[in-house]
């Protein structure tokens, strides 16, 4: 059973994600976040050191969810090509799941300070954890590509890191377009299924 403390902490984090997305990290305040969560300002500080802590915690949670979802997808797929296709739907599945998820797309664009600029040891660790989770995603994609090459299912003539960059760059641009359409109503001429189909075709182009 989830504790009341964990529920309240998640409530604050959800409000922080929303307020950061609506106002921008620079202009958002702890008061804004407390008001949105319907709690006292002191309650926010009981769980998070400051505004930077809330931002780091929000971004860390996102990357952890991404990596957990990918781990499950790889576990349930014995074919590396199918697993690779599944991995590249994760961002869409999470970022475009609902309105709350769209907020993440905005705060991911916030620049984070270098670790040596962060005074708090706890927040330094959270920044380190974010970097670790990002690298974990990169390593996961590289591992699946290498797995496919070893199985003779993905062309071995291309460096796994190069292929990851090709697939990752394409996915990022396409998903960002969807995010802009969903969050700001900007027509881009394609839908979520079109992105899935395009990424599948792109991965198939490197399959044997």
- Which distant-in-sequence residues (6+ apart) come within 8 Å of 89 by Cβ? 196, 199
Please determine, for residue 58, whether its predicted confidence score (pLDDT) is greater than 60: yes
**Fold (topology level) of 1-48:** Arc Repressor Mutant, subunit A (1.10.10)
Strand, helix or coil for residue 63: helix
Strand, helix or coil for residue 38: coil
**Domain-by-domain residue ranges, the chain?**
1-48, 50-205
CATH 1.10.357.10 is the classification of domain 50-205 = yes
Q: How far is it between the farthest Cα atoms of the chain?
A: 59
Please determine, for residue 56, whether its predicted confidence score (pLDDT) is greater than 70: yes
The tokens of 23 are what? Answer: 């106002």
Same fold, 1-48 and 50-205: no
Please determine, for residue 51, whether its predicted confidence score (pLDDT) is greater than 50: yes
Least confident range from 82-86, 102-106, 184-188, 198-202: namely: 184-188
Structure confidence at residue 83 as a pLDDT band (50, 70, 90): very high
Whole-number mean pLDDT of the chain? Answer: 91
Query: What are the Cα distances from residue 62, in Å, to 40, 129, 152?
Result: 26, 12, 33
Q: Please, which residues bridge with residue 154 across strands?
A: 207
Q: Residues 17, 100: contact at Cβ < 8 Å?
A: yes
pLDDT of residue 176: 82
Structure confidence at residue 2 as a pLDDT band (50, 70, 90): low
d(CA 32, CA 106): 17
């Amino acid at each position: 059973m989830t504790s009341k403390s964990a529920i309240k902490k998640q409530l604050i984090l959800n409000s922080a994600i929303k307020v950061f997305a609506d106002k921008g990290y620079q202009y958002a305040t702890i008061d804004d976040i407390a008001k949105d969560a319907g709690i006292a300002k002191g309650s926010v500080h009981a769980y998070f050191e400051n505004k930077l802590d809330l931002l780091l915690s929000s971004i860390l949670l996102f990357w952890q969810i991404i990596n957990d979802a990918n781990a499950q997808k790889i576990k349930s797929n014995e074919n590396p090509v199918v697993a690779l296709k599944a991995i590249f739907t994760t961002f869409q599945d999470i970022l475009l799941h609902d309105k709350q998820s769209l907020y993440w797309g905005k705060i991911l664009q916030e620049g984070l300070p270098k670790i040596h600029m962060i005074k708090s040891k706890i927040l330094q660790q959270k920044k380190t954890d974010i970097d670790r989770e990002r690298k974990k995603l990169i390593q996961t994609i590289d591992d699946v590509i290498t797995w496919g090459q070893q199985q003779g299912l993905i062309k071995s003539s291309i460096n796994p890191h190069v292929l990851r960059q090709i697939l990752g760059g394409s996915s990022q641009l396409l998903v960002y377009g969807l995010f802009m359409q969903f969050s700001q109503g900007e027509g881009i001429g394609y839908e979520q299924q079109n992105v899935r189909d395009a990424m599948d075709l792109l991965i198939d182009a490197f399959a044997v």
